[in-house]
Amino acid sequence: MDVHERELDPPWEGVLASPPGGSDCGVLVLAGSSGRVERERARLLAGQGLTALAMRWFGGPGQPPGICEIPLETFTNAVGVLRSTGASRIGILGVSKGAEAALLTAVRDPRVDLVVALSPTDSVWCNVGPGHDGRNHPYRSSWTWRGRPLPFLPMDESWRPGTPAGEPVAITGWYELSRRAFGHLLPEAAIPVERARADVVLVAGGDDAMWPSAPAAERLAARRRAAGASVTLISSADAGHRIRFPGERALPPSPEHLHGGTSEADALLGAEAWPLIVSALRGTPAARSGG
């Protein structure tokens, strides 16, 4: 299918990809802490008949340089942009910190019909990088809503990596330690995914070396099920943080962080999830449901 692309007008930075004639189904595509605009993923979704908006949500003009007190209105406004294209069904597909944003946005915006959370968390975490003031510390929330920071979990600074200096680091253990150390903050920091009107699809790898997304996905699914809300969970013990869909290129290794899994396992999990995700975004019956 041919895909039409246009760059977003300032102050937005990103791309709007759509099939010829547009679509009544739109999806907001959010990267994680890489900060990139997910152009390739948007093109793939547009090739499936969806209008896809991939945007930069931090590190751009007028935005904090890090993921620090990002207004969730950033994403509700983007939902409005998709609605203005004629899309009546709206999904948000986010990975990692982008999945955190997607889930939190769906809790607050009833216009969102579906959330696809890849390598998610079930809690609000502290900032990753500096805010507008250029400061990393003291820790602050990653997000705000209506000008107020969301309750969050900080990081336990006693953690030390178990790899030699200069080598890529697996930081899942840091998140696990911090979750235990600040357990008293968990109730307020939990993402109340059961409140979202949207359907929820969760995809996670059990070998995620960035943060423990598979246990988090299980907890998110449990909250949805306990509330009688729809949820689908797709997981693989061998996949890591970088779940990859058919047609997407493998990303090069990071010099700073290990992501876990293997290129093959990440692609297999993405291939398993892809048809269900596309069907869910379109609002058509899926081959697998219920988690």
Q: Which residue has the tokens 């294209």?
A: 85
Rounded to an integer, the average pLDDT of 252-266 is 94
pLDDT in tens, 207-232: 999 999 999 999 999 999 999 999 99
Name residues whose C-beta falls within 8 Å of residue 156's C-beta, 6 or more positions apart in sequence.
Answer: 174, 177, 178, 181, 182
Residue 288: inside a domain, yes or no? no
Residue 291: inside a domain, yes or no? no
pLDDT at 286 over 90: no
pTM for the model stands at 0.96
Number of domains in the chain: 1
Residue 287: inside a domain, yes or no? no
pLDDT in tens, 111-120: 999 999 999 9
Average pLDDT of every residue of the chain? 95
Residue 152: inside a domain, yes or no? yes
Joined together, the tokens standing for residue 8 give 């977003």
Residue 104: inside a domain, yes or no? yes
What is the CATH classification number for the domain harbouring 25? 3.40.50.1820
Domain extent, residue 272, equals 4-282
pLDDT at 245 over 70: yes
